[in-house]
Structure 1
Protein backbone atom coordinates (compact mmCIF):
# COMPACT_ATOMS: atom_id res chain seq x y z
CA UNK A 1 0.00 0.00 0.00
CA UNK A 2 1.12 3.54 -0.71
CA UNK A 3 2.59 4.87 2.60
CA UNK A 4 0.49 8.05 2.50
CA UNK A 5 -2.67 6.03 1.98
CA UNK A 6 -1.61 3.59 4.68
CA UNK A 7 -1.22 6.46 7.16
CA UNK A 8 -4.69 7.76 6.27
CA UNK A 9 -6.23 4.32 6.61
CA UNK A 10 -4.67 3.79 10.04
CA UNK A 11 -5.84 7.20 11.18
CA UNK A 12 -9.41 6.59 10.02
CA UNK A 13 -9.45 3.31 11.93
CA UNK A 14 -8.17 5.00 15.09
CA UNK A 15 -10.77 7.78 14.86
CA UNK A 16 -13.54 5.26 14.31
CA UNK A 17 -12.36 3.45 17.42
CA UNK A 18 -12.53 6.63 19.50
CA UNK A 19 -16.22 6.90 18.67
CA UNK A 20 -16.82 3.48 20.23
CA UNK A 21 -14.52 3.95 23.24
CA UNK A 22 -16.83 4.77 26.12
CA UNK A 23 -14.04 5.35 28.63
CA UNK A 24 -12.21 7.77 26.32
CA UNK A 25 -15.48 9.56 25.58
CA UNK A 26 -16.30 9.89 29.27
CA UNK A 27 -12.82 11.21 30.10
CA UNK A 28 -13.04 13.76 27.30
CA UNK A 29 -16.49 14.89 28.41
CA UNK A 30 -15.27 15.24 31.99
CA UNK A 31 -12.40 17.47 30.87
CA UNK A 32 -14.73 19.47 28.64
CA UNK A 33 -17.09 20.16 31.54
CA UNK A 34 -14.24 21.23 33.81
CA UNK A 35 -12.69 23.43 31.15
CA UNK A 36 -16.00 25.13 30.36
CA UNK A 37 -16.46 25.93 34.06
CA UNK A 38 -13.06 27.66 33.99
CA UNK A 39 -13.81 29.60 30.76
CA UNK A 40 -10.85 27.90 29.08
CA UNK A 41 -12.11 28.77 25.59
CA UNK A 42 -11.58 32.47 26.30
CA UNK A 43 -7.79 32.05 26.35
CA UNK A 44 -6.98 32.02 22.63
CA UNK A 45 -6.48 34.52 19.79
CA UNK A 46 -6.34 34.19 16.03
CA UNK A 47 -4.06 36.79 14.42
CA UNK A 48 -4.45 39.03 17.42
CA UNK A 49 -8.20 38.82 18.05
CA UNK A 50 -9.96 36.67 20.70
CA UNK A 51 -11.60 33.68 19.07
CA UNK A 52 -13.37 31.99 22.05
CA UNK A 53 -13.05 28.43 20.74
CA UNK A 54 -11.29 25.24 21.73
CA UNK A 55 -7.97 24.79 19.89
CA UNK A 56 -9.39 21.48 18.63
CA UNK A 57 -12.32 23.24 16.98
CA UNK A 58 -10.03 25.88 15.49
CA UNK A 59 -7.99 23.11 13.88
CA UNK A 60 -11.13 21.33 12.70
CA UNK A 61 -12.31 24.49 10.92
CA UNK A 62 -8.94 24.79 9.19
CA UNK A 63 -9.20 21.20 8.00
CA UNK A 64 -12.76 21.63 6.73
CA UNK A 65 -11.97 24.85 4.88
CA UNK A 66 -8.92 23.29 3.26
CA UNK A 67 -10.84 20.14 2.29
CA UNK A 68 -13.94 21.88 0.91
CA UNK A 69 -12.31 25.09 -0.43
CA UNK A 70 -15.27 27.47 -0.02
CA UNK A 71 -15.28 30.87 -1.66
CA UNK A 72 -17.78 32.22 0.89
CA UNK A 73 -18.08 31.59 4.63
CA UNK A 74 -21.19 32.89 6.42
CA UNK A 75 -20.91 33.20 10.21
CA UNK A 76 -23.57 34.18 12.73
CA UNK A 77 -22.01 35.62 15.86
CA UNK A 78 -18.99 37.93 15.59
CA UNK A 79 -18.11 38.87 19.20
CA UNK A 80 -14.44 39.95 19.25
CA UNK A 81 -13.91 38.96 15.62
CA UNK A 82 -11.42 36.13 15.97
CA UNK A 83 -13.52 33.61 14.07
CA UNK A 84 -14.31 35.81 11.06
CA UNK A 85 -10.65 36.83 10.90
CA UNK A 86 -9.61 33.17 11.04
CA UNK A 87 -11.97 32.27 8.20
CA UNK A 88 -10.78 35.26 6.16
CA UNK A 89 -7.14 34.33 6.67
CA UNK A 90 -7.78 30.73 5.63
CA UNK A 91 -9.56 31.92 2.49
CA UNK A 92 -6.53 34.11 1.75
CA UNK A 93 -4.36 31.02 2.15
CA UNK A 94 -6.54 29.18 -0.36
CA UNK A 95 -6.09 32.02 -2.84
CA UNK A 96 -2.32 31.93 -2.39
CA UNK A 97 -2.21 28.16 -2.86
CA UNK A 98 -4.43 28.41 -5.95
CA UNK A 99 -2.02 30.95 -7.43
CA UNK A 100 1.00 28.78 -6.67
CA UNK A 101 -0.65 25.71 -8.20
CA UNK A 102 -1.61 27.70 -11.29
CA UNK A 103 1.88 29.17 -11.61
CA UNK A 104 0.65 32.78 -11.50
CA UNK A 105 1.37 35.74 -9.26
CA UNK A 106 -0.76 36.01 -6.13
CA UNK A 107 -2.91 39.14 -6.35
CA UNK A 108 -5.17 39.47 -3.29
CA UNK A 109 -7.06 42.29 -4.94
CA UNK A 110 -8.42 39.93 -7.60
CA UNK A 111 -9.99 37.41 -5.23
CA UNK A 112 -13.68 37.41 -4.45
CA UNK A 113 -13.41 34.92 -1.59
CA UNK A 114 -14.88 36.51 1.54
CA UNK A 115 -16.52 36.07 4.93
CA UNK A 116 -19.93 37.43 5.92
CA UNK A 117 -20.35 37.99 9.66
CA UNK A 118 -23.68 38.71 11.35
CA UNK A 119 -24.19 39.88 14.92
CA UNK A 120 -27.07 41.55 16.73
CA UNK A 121 -24.62 43.89 18.50
CA UNK A 122 -21.25 44.65 16.95
CA UNK A 123 -19.63 46.67 19.70
CA UNK A 124 -17.73 49.75 18.59
CA UNK A 125 -14.33 48.60 19.86
CA UNK A 126 -14.71 45.21 18.18
CA UNK A 127 -15.86 46.75 14.90
CA UNK A 128 -12.89 49.13 14.95
CA UNK A 129 -10.45 46.26 15.61
CA UNK A 130 -11.92 44.14 12.80
CA UNK A 131 -12.06 47.00 10.31
CA UNK A 132 -8.42 47.90 10.98
CA UNK A 133 -7.20 44.30 10.71
CA UNK A 134 -5.17 43.21 7.65
CA UNK A 135 -7.96 40.73 6.81
CA UNK A 136 -10.67 43.41 6.84
CA UNK A 137 -11.04 43.60 3.06
CA UNK A 138 -12.32 40.02 3.04
CA UNK A 139 -14.94 40.57 5.74
CA UNK A 140 -18.44 41.98 5.29
CA UNK A 141 -20.44 42.56 8.47
CA UNK A 142 -24.18 42.91 9.04
CA UNK A 143 -25.53 44.18 12.34
CA UNK A 144 -28.91 42.83 13.41
CA UNK A 145 -30.59 39.60 14.42
CA UNK A 146 -29.41 36.71 12.27
CA UNK A 147 -33.02 35.57 11.86
CA UNK A 148 -34.46 38.99 10.99
CA UNK A 149 -35.97 38.57 7.50
CA UNK A 150 -34.30 41.79 6.33
CA UNK A 151 -30.87 40.59 7.49
CA UNK A 152 -31.40 37.18 5.91
CA UNK A 153 -32.41 38.85 2.63
CA UNK A 154 -29.32 41.06 2.69
CA UNK A 155 -27.05 38.08 3.31
CA UNK A 156 -28.67 36.12 0.50
CA UNK A 157 -28.14 39.06 -1.85
CA UNK A 158 -24.50 39.37 -0.76
CA UNK A 159 -24.07 35.63 -1.42
CA UNK A 160 -25.09 35.79 -5.08
CA UNK A 161 -22.36 34.57 -7.39
CA UNK A 162 -20.55 32.34 -4.90
CA UNK A 163 -20.30 28.69 -5.90
CA UNK A 164 -18.99 27.03 -2.72
CA UNK A 165 -20.54 28.20 0.53
CA UNK A 166 -19.90 27.19 4.15
CA UNK A 167 -22.04 28.31 7.10
CA UNK A 168 -21.15 28.55 10.81
CA UNK A 169 -23.87 29.21 13.40
CA UNK A 170 -22.63 30.61 16.70
CA UNK A 171 -24.96 33.30 18.01
CA UNK A 172 -28.00 32.82 20.28
CA UNK A 173 -28.04 29.17 21.34
CA UNK A 174 -31.72 28.52 22.05
CA UNK A 175 -33.53 25.79 20.14
CA UNK A 176 -35.93 28.20 18.41
CA UNK A 177 -33.22 30.62 17.33
CA UNK A 178 -30.85 27.98 15.99
CA UNK A 179 -33.66 26.19 14.18
CA UNK A 180 -34.62 29.49 12.53
CA UNK A 181 -30.97 30.04 11.58
CA UNK A 182 -30.79 26.58 10.06
CA UNK A 183 -33.92 27.22 8.02
CA UNK A 184 -32.49 30.55 6.83
CA UNK A 185 -28.84 29.73 6.15
CA UNK A 186 -28.37 25.98 5.76
CA UNK A 187 -29.99 26.06 2.28
CA UNK A 188 -27.14 28.36 1.19
CA UNK A 189 -24.58 25.62 1.90
CA UNK A 190 -23.42 23.99 -1.30
CA UNK A 191 -23.04 20.24 -1.85
CA UNK A 192 -19.93 18.84 -0.22
CA UNK A 193 -19.59 21.80 2.15
CA UNK A 194 -20.53 22.10 5.82
CA UNK A 195 -22.93 23.87 8.11
CA UNK A 196 -21.20 23.89 11.49
CA UNK A 197 -23.49 24.44 14.47
CA UNK A 198 -21.52 25.48 17.54
CA UNK A 199 -22.34 24.89 21.21
CA UNK A 200 -24.40 21.76 20.68
CA UNK A 201 -22.52 20.60 23.80
CA UNK A 202 -25.19 22.35 25.93
CA UNK A 203 -27.37 19.25 25.57
CA UNK A 204 -24.62 17.09 27.08
CA UNK A 205 -23.82 19.32 30.06
CA UNK A 206 -25.52 19.11 33.46
CA UNK A 207 -28.90 20.88 33.59
CA UNK A 208 -28.47 24.46 34.73
CA UNK A 209 -24.76 24.57 33.87
CA UNK A 210 -25.30 27.78 31.88
CA UNK A 211 -27.46 29.35 34.56
CA UNK A 212 -26.93 32.88 33.25
CA UNK A 213 -28.09 32.03 29.72
CA UNK A 214 -31.51 31.30 28.21
CA UNK A 215 -30.46 27.89 26.84
CA UNK A 216 -30.27 24.60 28.72
CA UNK A 217 -30.66 20.86 28.36
CA UNK A 218 -33.63 20.31 26.06
CA UNK A 219 -33.42 23.80 24.55
CA UNK A 220 -30.18 24.29 22.65
CA UNK A 221 -28.39 23.96 19.31
CA UNK A 222 -28.22 20.15 19.40
CA UNK A 223 -31.98 19.79 19.87
CA UNK A 224 -32.40 22.22 16.96
CA UNK A 225 -30.03 20.20 14.77
CA UNK A 226 -31.89 16.97 15.43
CA UNK A 227 -35.23 18.65 14.72
CA UNK A 228 -33.92 20.17 11.48
CA UNK A 229 -32.49 16.91 10.21
CA UNK A 230 -35.86 15.18 10.49
CA UNK A 231 -37.03 17.04 7.40
CA UNK A 232 -33.71 17.76 5.67
CA UNK A 233 -32.10 14.55 4.43
CA UNK A 234 -29.75 16.58 2.25
CA UNK A 235 -27.61 17.01 5.40
CA UNK A 236 -25.95 14.38 7.54
CA UNK A 237 -23.95 14.59 10.78
CA UNK A 238 -20.28 13.93 10.08
CA UNK A 239 -19.33 12.30 13.37
CA UNK A 240 -15.82 11.55 12.16
CA UNK A 241 -14.97 15.18 13.00
CA UNK A 242 -16.13 15.03 16.63
CA UNK A 243 -14.62 11.57 17.06
CA UNK A 244 -11.28 12.91 15.91
CA UNK A 245 -11.42 15.93 18.21
CA UNK A 246 -12.87 14.19 21.28
CA UNK A 247 -13.12 17.60 22.96
CA UNK A 248 -15.38 19.93 20.96
CA UNK A 249 -18.21 22.39 21.56
CA UNK A 250 -19.98 20.98 18.51
CA UNK A 251 -20.91 17.28 19.00
CA UNK A 252 -23.45 16.41 16.29
CA UNK A 253 -22.86 19.92 14.93
CA UNK A 254 -20.70 19.19 11.89
CA UNK A 255 -23.37 18.89 9.20
CA UNK A 256 -22.26 17.95 5.69
CA UNK A 257 -24.47 18.70 2.71
CA UNK A 258 -24.71 15.66 0.46
Structure 2
Protein backbone atom coordinates (compact mmCIF):
# COMPACT_ATOMS: atom_id res chain seq x y z
CA UNK A 1 0.00 0.00 0.00
CA UNK A 2 1.41 3.38 -1.03
CA UNK A 3 1.53 6.30 1.46
CA UNK A 4 -1.34 7.93 -0.43
CA UNK A 5 -3.44 4.76 -0.33
CA UNK A 6 -2.78 4.45 3.39
CA UNK A 7 -3.80 8.07 3.91
CA UNK A 8 -7.02 7.52 1.94
CA UNK A 9 -7.84 4.41 3.97
CA UNK A 10 -7.40 6.36 7.19
CA UNK A 11 -9.61 9.15 5.83
CA UNK A 12 -12.31 6.64 4.85
CA UNK A 13 -12.39 5.26 8.38
CA UNK A 14 -12.39 8.73 9.96
CA UNK A 15 -15.18 9.95 7.66
CA UNK A 16 -17.38 6.98 8.61
CA UNK A 17 -16.86 7.73 12.31
CA UNK A 18 -17.58 11.41 11.72
CA UNK A 19 -20.86 10.66 9.96
CA UNK A 20 -21.92 8.40 12.81
CA UNK A 21 -21.19 10.93 15.55
CA UNK A 22 -24.68 11.93 16.73
CA UNK A 23 -23.46 14.92 18.71
CA UNK A 24 -21.58 16.29 15.70
CA UNK A 25 -24.61 15.69 13.44
CA UNK A 26 -26.85 17.58 15.88
CA UNK A 27 -24.38 20.45 16.22
CA UNK A 28 -24.07 20.68 12.46
CA UNK A 29 -27.85 20.74 12.00
CA UNK A 30 -28.16 23.55 14.55
CA UNK A 31 -25.45 25.54 12.79
CA UNK A 32 -27.03 25.05 9.36
CA UNK A 33 -30.44 26.19 10.61
CA UNK A 34 -28.92 29.34 12.10
CA UNK A 35 -26.70 30.03 9.10
CA UNK A 36 -29.53 29.59 6.59
CA UNK A 37 -31.54 32.23 8.41
CA UNK A 38 -28.65 34.59 7.58
CA UNK A 39 -28.59 33.48 3.89
CA UNK A 40 -25.10 32.09 4.40
CA UNK A 41 -24.89 30.41 0.99
CA UNK A 42 -25.58 33.67 -0.86
CA UNK A 43 -22.32 35.30 0.17
CA UNK A 44 -19.78 33.50 -2.03
CA UNK A 45 -18.58 34.05 -5.59
CA UNK A 46 -16.67 31.99 -8.12
CA UNK A 47 -14.43 33.99 -10.44
CA UNK A 48 -16.55 37.11 -10.01
CA UNK A 49 -20.07 35.63 -10.15
CA UNK A 50 -22.34 34.73 -7.21
CA UNK A 51 -22.42 30.95 -6.84
CA UNK A 52 -25.03 30.60 -4.04
CA UNK A 53 -23.59 27.36 -2.65
CA UNK A 54 -21.85 26.23 0.51
CA UNK A 55 -18.06 26.08 0.11
CA UNK A 56 -18.21 22.45 1.25
CA UNK A 57 -20.45 21.50 -1.69
CA UNK A 58 -18.21 23.41 -4.08
CA UNK A 59 -15.27 21.33 -2.85
CA UNK A 60 -17.28 18.11 -3.22
CA UNK A 61 -18.19 19.02 -6.80
CA UNK A 62 -14.53 19.71 -7.57
CA UNK A 63 -13.61 16.24 -6.34
CA UNK A 64 -16.39 14.62 -8.37
CA UNK A 65 -15.52 16.53 -11.55
CA UNK A 66 -11.88 15.51 -11.27
CA UNK A 67 -12.78 11.88 -10.62
CA UNK A 68 -15.51 11.58 -13.27
CA UNK A 69 -13.81 13.71 -15.96
CA UNK A 70 -17.13 14.65 -17.60
CA UNK A 71 -17.28 15.91 -21.14
CA UNK A 72 -20.71 17.37 -20.35
CA UNK A 73 -22.18 18.88 -17.19
CA UNK A 74 -25.92 19.58 -17.27
CA UNK A 75 -27.23 22.11 -14.74
CA UNK A 76 -30.83 23.13 -14.11
CA UNK A 77 -31.06 26.57 -12.53
CA UNK A 78 -28.68 29.35 -13.56
CA UNK A 79 -29.40 32.41 -11.34
CA UNK A 80 -26.29 34.64 -11.46
CA UNK A 81 -24.24 32.00 -13.28
CA UNK A 82 -21.60 31.28 -10.66
CA UNK A 83 -22.17 27.53 -10.77
CA UNK A 84 -21.89 27.47 -14.57
CA UNK A 85 -18.64 29.45 -14.33
CA UNK A 86 -17.35 27.07 -11.65
CA UNK A 87 -18.15 23.98 -13.73
CA UNK A 88 -16.60 25.52 -16.83
CA UNK A 89 -13.47 26.42 -14.88
CA UNK A 90 -13.14 22.86 -13.59
CA UNK A 91 -13.52 21.52 -17.13
CA UNK A 92 -10.86 23.97 -18.29
CA UNK A 93 -8.48 22.66 -15.63
CA UNK A 94 -9.31 19.07 -16.54
CA UNK A 95 -8.53 19.83 -20.18
CA UNK A 96 -5.23 21.43 -19.23
CA UNK A 97 -4.35 18.20 -17.39
CA UNK A 98 -5.20 15.93 -20.30
CA UNK A 99 -8.95 15.57 -19.76
CA UNK A 100 -11.68 16.03 -22.40
CA UNK A 101 -10.64 18.95 -24.58
CA UNK A 102 -14.13 19.88 -25.78
CA UNK A 103 -16.05 19.45 -22.49
CA UNK A 104 -19.09 21.69 -22.13
CA UNK A 105 -21.54 22.96 -19.52
CA UNK A 106 -25.22 23.23 -20.44
CA UNK A 107 -27.35 25.45 -18.21
CA UNK A 108 -31.15 25.56 -18.16
CA UNK A 109 -33.39 28.19 -16.62
CA UNK A 110 -36.98 29.27 -17.13
CA UNK A 111 -35.87 32.92 -16.94
CA UNK A 112 -32.29 33.90 -17.82
CA UNK A 113 -32.24 37.54 -16.89
CA UNK A 114 -30.54 39.79 -19.41
CA UNK A 115 -27.91 41.14 -17.02
CA UNK A 116 -26.96 37.61 -15.92
CA UNK A 117 -26.78 36.32 -19.48
CA UNK A 118 -24.58 39.27 -20.45
CA UNK A 119 -22.21 38.67 -17.51
CA UNK A 120 -21.97 34.93 -18.24
CA UNK A 121 -21.37 35.43 -21.96
CA UNK A 122 -18.70 38.06 -21.25
CA UNK A 123 -16.82 35.79 -18.83
CA UNK A 124 -13.52 34.14 -19.89
CA UNK A 125 -15.07 30.72 -19.20
CA UNK A 126 -18.02 31.35 -21.51
CA UNK A 127 -16.54 29.36 -24.40
CA UNK A 128 -17.42 26.17 -22.53
CA UNK A 129 -20.96 27.27 -21.63
CA UNK A 130 -24.25 26.92 -23.51
CA UNK A 131 -27.64 27.97 -22.13
CA UNK A 132 -31.26 27.10 -22.85
CA UNK A 133 -34.07 29.35 -21.65
CA UNK A 134 -37.27 27.48 -20.85
CA UNK A 135 -38.81 25.19 -18.26
CA UNK A 136 -36.51 22.28 -17.50
CA UNK A 137 -39.54 19.97 -17.49
CA UNK A 138 -40.97 21.12 -20.83
CA UNK A 139 -40.83 18.32 -23.45
CA UNK A 140 -39.15 20.53 -26.04
CA UNK A 141 -36.42 21.54 -23.58
CA UNK A 142 -35.85 17.94 -22.49
CA UNK A 143 -35.47 16.95 -26.14
CA UNK A 144 -32.93 19.75 -26.74
CA UNK A 145 -30.88 18.55 -23.78
CA UNK A 146 -30.99 14.95 -24.94
CA UNK A 147 -29.75 15.98 -28.37
CA UNK A 148 -26.98 18.05 -26.77
CA UNK A 149 -25.94 15.05 -24.66
CA UNK A 150 -25.98 12.60 -27.55
CA UNK A 151 -22.57 11.06 -28.12
CA UNK A 152 -21.07 12.33 -24.87
CA UNK A 153 -18.97 9.77 -23.01
CA UNK A 154 -19.19 11.05 -19.43
CA UNK A 155 -22.14 13.15 -18.24
CA UNK A 156 -22.65 14.78 -14.83
CA UNK A 157 -26.09 16.16 -13.91
CA UNK A 158 -26.88 18.87 -11.32
CA UNK A 159 -30.47 19.79 -10.40
CA UNK A 160 -30.97 23.15 -8.70
CA UNK A 161 -34.04 24.98 -10.00
CA UNK A 162 -37.60 24.86 -8.62
CA UNK A 163 -37.41 22.89 -5.35
CA UNK A 164 -40.91 21.40 -5.12
CA UNK A 165 -41.26 17.61 -4.93
CA UNK A 166 -43.17 17.39 -8.21
CA UNK A 167 -40.73 19.54 -10.17
CA UNK A 168 -37.59 17.84 -8.89
CA UNK A 169 -39.09 14.40 -9.47
CA UNK A 170 -39.91 15.41 -13.05
CA UNK A 171 -36.32 16.67 -13.51
CA UNK A 172 -34.97 13.40 -12.12
CA UNK A 173 -37.08 11.39 -14.55
CA UNK A 174 -35.91 13.58 -17.45
CA UNK A 175 -32.22 14.11 -16.71
CA UNK A 176 -30.90 11.54 -14.22
CA UNK A 177 -30.84 8.87 -16.98
CA UNK A 178 -28.35 11.05 -18.86
CA UNK A 179 -25.80 10.65 -16.06
CA UNK A 180 -23.34 7.96 -17.10
CA UNK A 181 -22.37 4.95 -15.00
CA UNK A 182 -19.86 6.01 -12.35
CA UNK A 183 -20.99 9.63 -12.56
CA UNK A 184 -23.58 11.46 -10.48
CA UNK A 185 -26.91 13.21 -10.53
CA UNK A 186 -26.54 15.79 -7.75
CA UNK A 187 -29.81 17.12 -6.31
CA UNK A 188 -29.26 20.37 -4.45
CA UNK A 189 -31.29 21.86 -1.57
CA UNK A 190 -32.39 18.53 -0.12
CA UNK A 191 -31.62 20.36 3.15
CA UNK A 192 -35.11 21.93 2.90
CA UNK A 193 -36.56 18.73 4.42
CA UNK A 194 -34.46 19.23 7.55
CA UNK A 195 -35.13 22.92 8.17
CA UNK A 196 -38.04 24.64 9.94
CA UNK A 197 -41.15 25.17 7.83
CA UNK A 198 -41.24 28.87 8.73
CA UNK A 199 -37.91 29.37 6.94
CA UNK A 200 -39.77 29.28 3.58
CA UNK A 201 -42.90 31.41 4.15
CA UNK A 202 -43.03 32.73 0.58
CA UNK A 203 -41.93 29.57 -1.26
CA UNK A 204 -44.03 26.64 -2.54
CA UNK A 205 -41.63 24.11 -1.01
CA UNK A 206 -40.88 23.10 2.56
CA UNK A 207 -40.68 20.00 4.79
CA UNK A 208 -42.62 17.17 3.13
CA UNK A 209 -42.45 18.79 -0.33
CA UNK A 210 -38.90 19.34 -1.52
CA UNK A 211 -35.89 17.84 -3.33
CA UNK A 212 -35.16 15.23 -0.65
CA UNK A 213 -38.69 13.81 -0.77
CA UNK A 214 -38.35 13.68 -4.56
CA UNK A 215 -35.02 11.83 -4.27
CA UNK A 216 -36.52 9.20 -1.99
CA UNK A 217 -39.49 8.73 -4.33
CA UNK A 218 -37.24 8.43 -7.39
CA UNK A 219 -34.93 5.88 -5.80
CA UNK A 220 -37.85 3.51 -5.08
CA UNK A 221 -38.00 2.63 -8.76
CA UNK A 222 -34.47 3.42 -9.94
CA UNK A 223 -31.94 1.00 -8.44
CA UNK A 224 -29.35 2.18 -10.93
CA UNK A 225 -28.71 5.07 -8.52
CA UNK A 226 -27.70 5.07 -4.87
CA UNK A 227 -27.07 7.83 -2.33
CA UNK A 228 -23.35 8.31 -1.82
CA UNK A 229 -23.46 8.64 1.97
CA UNK A 230 -19.68 8.99 2.11
CA UNK A 231 -20.06 12.48 0.64
CA UNK A 232 -22.60 13.41 3.34
CA UNK A 233 -20.40 12.03 6.12
CA UNK A 234 -17.39 13.91 4.82
CA UNK A 235 -19.04 17.28 4.26
CA UNK A 236 -21.43 17.36 7.23
CA UNK A 237 -22.24 20.97 6.25
CA UNK A 238 -24.09 20.72 2.93
CA UNK A 239 -27.20 21.98 1.15
CA UNK A 240 -27.51 18.54 -0.47
CA UNK A 241 -27.64 15.84 2.23
CA UNK A 242 -28.65 12.54 0.57
CA UNK A 243 -28.60 14.42 -2.73
CA UNK A 244 -25.34 13.06 -4.16
CA UNK A 245 -26.75 10.24 -6.26
CA UNK A 246 -24.16 7.97 -7.86
CA UNK A 247 -25.08 5.93 -10.90
CA UNK A 248 -23.88 2.40 -10.24
CA UNK A 249 -25.34 0.51 -13.22
Query: TM-score per shorter chain, which class?
Result: over 0.9
Return the offset for 1:5.
Answer: 1.4
**1:247 matched to which residue of 2?**
237
Instruction: Find the aligned partners of 1:41 and 1:91 in 2 and give their Cα distance.
Output: 23
Asked whether 1:63 is paired with 2:53, we answer no
Instruction: Find the aligned partners of 1:242 and 1:85 in 2 and give their Cα distance.
Output: 24
**1:160 matched to which residue of 2?**
150
1:208-247 equivalences under 5 Å are 208-247=198-237
1:1-258 equivalences under 5 Å are 1-98=1-98, 111-258=101-248
Aligned Cα RMSD in Å? Answer: 1.0
Instruction: Find the aligned partners of 1:169 and 1:21 in 2 and give their Cα distance.
Output: 29
CA displacement, residues 196-238 of structure 1 (integer Å, 9 cap, x when unaligned): 0000001111123211111010000000000000000000000
Instruction: Find the aligned partners of 1:4 and 1:135 in 2 and give their Cα distance.
Output: 33
Runs of 5+ consecutive residues of structure 1 not aligned to the other structure = 100-109
Return the offset for 1:191.
Answer: 0.2
**1:102 matched to which residue of 2?**
none
Return the offset for 1:2.
Answer: 2.6
CA displacement, residues 105-157 of structure 1 (integer Å, 9 cap, x when unaligned): xxxxx932000000000000000000000011100000011001000101111
Instruction: Find the aligned partners of 1:67 and 1:2 in 2 and give their Cα distance.
Output: 19
Return the offset for 1:83.
Answer: 0.1
Runs of 5+ consecutive residues of structure 2 not aligned to the other structure = none
Taking structure 2 as the reference length, the TM-score comes to 0.98
Deviates more, 1:157-166 or 1:75-84: 157-166
**1:104 matched to which residue of 2?**
none
